[in-house]
Amino acid sequence: MDTCLRRGSVHRRVLGFTLFRKEPTSRQIREFLGRVSAKCRARPKYIVSDKGPQFSCAAFKAWCRRKGVRPRYASTKDDRPRATAVIERFIRSAKDEWLRRIAIPLRMRAMRERVAAYLLWFHESRPHQGLRGRTPNEMLRGGKPANERARIEPRARWPAHSPCAGPRARRSTKSFSKLSMLVRFHGSNRQLPIVGVKRVA
């Protein structure tokens, strides 16, 4: 099981993770949340979770009161959006893009390294539809993200004000007749691609 904590849904950035060999106890969950909070030097206003026994027990609620944190639970009604949708979407991405494409290591240390590698790629190189094509690190750093910089247009007669894929970006004043697409990988992991474009002389 992996447990993740995010700084809201704005950055889509994972602040911490841990691994358990079996279903964790409430105490293990509280210890993990405490470590992440200390690392970030911040205390969450809410902790959103399902109603598992680790989160709904008296010990967890008492811990939240001491920390000044309000526990919030996802709705179990099918007609309402689930409060844990953002973290569940991340877990689905991690499984589909990474864990189901590799040989799962049996040792905890190796598994931790695999998850950490995915998070580095996820934060720095993976565009997010929910962030309008930005990466979590671009959102965190601010400034103009890569997908809003002047776009390269190799077609000489293409109208300058024609629409482009969202988000709309202005056309570069420089003209290039040939382009080359570069595909590299995060570390030696061919399941984690990093795609770029450059002009050809």
Residues 14 and 72 in one domain: yes
Query: Do 43 and 37 meet the contact criterion of CB atoms below 8 Å apart?
Result: yes
Residues 129 and 178 in one domain: no
Query: What are the pLDDT tens digits along the chain (201 aa)?
Result: 334 444 444 577 899 999 999 999 999 999 999 999 999 898 889 899 989 999 999 999 999 999 999 999 886 665 455 667 888 888 999 999 999 999 999 999 999 999 999 999 999 999 888 888 889 998 888 877 888 887 777 777 777 677 666 677 777 777 666 778 889 999 889 999 998 887 776
Residues 24 and 83 in one domain: yes
Given this model, what pLDDT does residue 177 score? 66
Query: Do 15 and 138 meet the contact criterion of CB atoms below 8 Å apart?
Result: no
Backbone φ and ψ of 185, nearest 5°: -130, 150
Given this model, what pLDDT does residue 165 score? 63
HEC assignment per residue over 83-141: CCHHHHHHHHHHHHHCHHHCCCCCCHHHHHHHHHHHHHHHHHCCCEHHHCCECHHHHHH
Residues 135 and 166 in one domain: no
Given this model, what pLDDT does residue 114 score? 94
Given this model, what pLDDT does residue 9 score? 43
Out of 123, 141, 159, a domain closes at 141
What is the β-pairing status of strands 46-49 and 70-73? parallel
Given this model, what pLDDT does residue 166 score? 64
Segments forming the whole domain that contains residue 63: 2-141
Number of structural domains (the chain) is 2
Out of 100, 121, 141, a domain closes at 141
Residues 135 and 176 in one domain: no
Residues 137 and 150 in one domain: no
The 8-class DSSP code of residue 168 comes to P
Given this model, what pLDDT does residue 118 score? 95
Out of 118, 141, 164, a domain closes at 141
Cα gap 59→33, rounded to integer Å: 14
Cα gap 116→144, rounded to integer Å: 26
Given this model, what pLDDT does residue 201 score? 64
